[in-house]
Amino acid sequence: MADLARELGVSMTTISRALSDHHSIGPAMKQKVLKLAKKYNYQPNRLASALRKGKSQLIGIIVPYIEGRFFPSVVHGIETAASKAGYNVIICQSNEDVAQERRNLEILLSAQVAGILVSLSRTTLDVRHFEKVRSRGLPLVFFDRIVEGDNVNAVVLNDQEGGYVSTRHLLGQGCRRIAHLAGPQHLNIYKNRRQGYLDALREAGLAEDESLVIYTDMSQDQGVAAMRQLLALPEPPDAVFAAGDYSALGAMQEARRQGLQVPNDMAVSGFSNEAFTVITEPAMTTIDQRCEEMGQAAVRLLLEVIDADGAPFTPRQVALRPELLVRNSSVRQAETELSSANLVRSFVP
């Protein structure tokens, strides 16, 4: 900038104004500056700018990990929305570890990000470390795995509704003993999915049966184990709603291994719309979590808080509507139909 100023015989202020499209700048001057900047291949230094302004164009993300279907898709949505708004994204993984989550938070604070998006680690029971963020007035939005309460900004899937519509769907197929493979109940998402399941059962006038609810870590293996346990019951279920696709897959595998027909003997529905659900045989009914939309919504909310710029902002919770994707694993059908391979479905990467 100093070079440009010297060469044009003007002050750095003028250069700065021309480059940042300030209003009080002559169009002629502006053109001259921009042209020379091109020629000299001027590269703005966002660090310096951010330091001066006290605000960077960076948004920090903390996710448990970048794997599977969900988090990468959300991050994809976030990055897309953020970059459209002129922000860039710095990403951290907590690896499901609170300690690392805390460290990540420190790092993002010291990086002077303009705001932070967080999905809690599975081991985060104590959330006091986020107080520091709030006390600095730094915009903070949770997504998916959130701190509950209405004094936080959050974007979630309506998990309760997801559990509810899934269970309703199974009931609609004539299932009467519906089991549930639940996840860790201190995480809002799994608690709510279970709640939706219970709500649907109650609404249908079915008694809640604790032996039909199996608590798992959502892995495929525990899905297998859970189904084994369920089938050993005096009165085994005729359907299972799993809070995740992997445990649903395990359950489905085990049911078939034990000679049951899916869905006729055992209807199965999962949660997350993992890529593989469309390829299992039968294709798996599941809930789409609107990953991209969640990322977009989170950014939108965060930008609102950022743009409020310290002005009192009433925290808001956004709930996205889950989409039930009905596929063959839960649609009871005549035996003849069962033989048609499911492999012929279209599948978008």
Partner DNA sequence: TTGTATGCGTTATCAG
Partner DNA sequence: CTGATAACGCATACAA
CA distance 31 to 19: 10
Q: Is the backbone peptide bond immediately before 263 cis, with ω within 30 degrees of 0?
A: yes
Stretch that binds DNA, among 10-18, 90-98, 249-257, 272-280 (CB under 7 A): 10-18
Stretch that binds DNA, among 1-9, 218-226, 243-251, 301-309 (CB under 7 A): 1-9
Question: Is 3 or 337 the residue whose CB approaches DNA more closely?
Answer: 3
CA distance 138 to 141: 10
Stretch that binds DNA, among 45-53, 93-101, 120-128, 186-194 (CB under 7 A): 45-53
Residue 321 three-state SS = coil
Please report whether residue 10 would count as binding DNA according to CB under 7 A: yes
Please report whether residue 175 would count as binding a copy of itself according to CB under 8 A: no
Closest CA to 75 of 64, 86, 85: 64
With CB cut-offs between 5 and 8 Å by kind, which of a copy of itself, DNA, none does residue 53 bind?
Answer: DNA
Please report whether residue 17 would count as binding DNA according to CB under 7 A: yes
Tokens of 346: 């279209």
Residue type, 257: R
Q: Going by DSSP bridges, is the β-strand pair 58-63/115-118 parallel, antiparallel, or unpaired?
A: parallel
Tokens of 126: 């104590």
Please report whether residue 29 would count as binding DNA according to CB under 7 A: yes
Please report whether residue 228 would count as binding a copy of itself according to CB under 8 A: no
Residue 266 three-state SS = coil
Which residue in 7, 21, 27, 141 binds DNA (CB under 7 A)? 27
Tokens of 97: 């570890």
Please report whether residue 138 would count as binding DNA according to CB under 7 A: no
Residue-by-residue DSSP string for 182-207: E--TTSHHHHHHHHHHHHHHHHTTPP
Least separation in angstroms between residue 53's CB and DNA is 5
Least separation in angstroms between residue 307's CB and a copy of itself is 21
CA distance 171 to 304: 41
Looking at the chain, list the stretches that DSSP marks H as alpha helix, in order from N- to C-terminal side.
2-8, 12-19, 27-39, 46-53, 70-84, 98-110, 129-135, 159-172, 188-203, 220-231, 245-257, 291-308, 335-338
The 260-299 contact track toward a copy of itself, x by CB under 8 A, reads --------------xxx--xxx------------------
Q: For residue 111, report the phi and psi dihedrals to the nearest 5 degrees.
A: -85, 0
Least separation in angstroms between residue 130's CB and DNA is 21
With CB cut-offs between 5 and 8 Å by kind, which of DNA, a copy of itself, none does residue 151 bind?
Answer: none
Residue 265 three-state SS = coil
With CB cut-offs between 5 and 8 Å by kind, which of DNA, a copy of itself, none does residue 107 bind?
Answer: a copy of itself
Which residue in 11, 13, 31, 83 binds a copy of itself (CB under 8 A)? 83
Which residue in 25, 62, 218, 255 binds DNA (CB under 7 A)? 25
Question: Is 103 or 177 the residue whose CB approaches a copy of itself more closely?
Answer: 103
Residues 101-160 that bind a copy of itself (CB under 8 A): 106-107, 109-112, 132
Are the C-beta atoms of 252 and 268 separated by less than 8 Å?
yes
CA distance 162 to 288: 9
Are the C-beta atoms of 49 and 55 separated by less than 8 Å?
no
Residues 310-329 that bind DNA (CB under 7 A): none
Can you give the binding site for DNA, defined by CB under 7 A? 1-2, 9-14, 16-17, 19-20, 23-27, 29, 43-45, 48-49, 51-54
